[in-house]
């Protein structure tokens, strides 16, 4: 007899009912409260995104790649694909 996934789920549910029955209502209450908080935060984020998208002057942000100061030396071009090693410290 092999234990499959649904066997393990039944065993876990039975163990919860037998050993954690007094704590189940509190756990369910805290789970429900956590879900309400999560949903309200997601709703707030969506509302903030739509409010930010309606403002004038907002759009895609353009940027540029900045190399580390120690890796840029006068004899190496960062766009040629050659990387320089930092100097060894003694």
Query: What stretches of the chain show up as alpha helix (H) in DSSP?
Result: 5-19, 24-53
Question: Of 71 and 1, which is predicted with more confidence?
Answer: 1
Alpha-carbon distance of 69 to 78, in angstroms, equals 11
Collapsing DSSP states into helix, strand and coil, what is residue 77?
A: coil
Name 76's Cβ contacts closer than 8 Å, sequence gap at least 6. 82, 83, 84
pLDDT at residue number 31: 94
pTM above 0.85, yes or no: no
Name the pLDDT band for 9 (thresholds 50, 70, 90): very high
Instruction: State what percent of residues in the chain have pLDDT above 70.
Output: 69
Instruction: State what percent of residues in the chain have pLDDT above 90.
Output: 31
């Amino acid at each position: 007899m092999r234990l499959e996934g649904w066997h393990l789920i039944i065993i876990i549910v039975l163990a919860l009912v037998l050993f954690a029955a007094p704590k189940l209502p509190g756990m369910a209450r805290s789970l429900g409260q956590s879900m309400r908080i999560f949903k309200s935060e997601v709703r707030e984020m969506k509302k903030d995104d739509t409010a930010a998208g309606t403002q004038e002057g907002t759009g895609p942000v353009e940027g540029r790649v900045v190399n580390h100061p120690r890796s840029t030396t006068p004899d190496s071009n960062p766009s040629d694909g050659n990387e320089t090693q930092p100097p060894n410290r003694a």
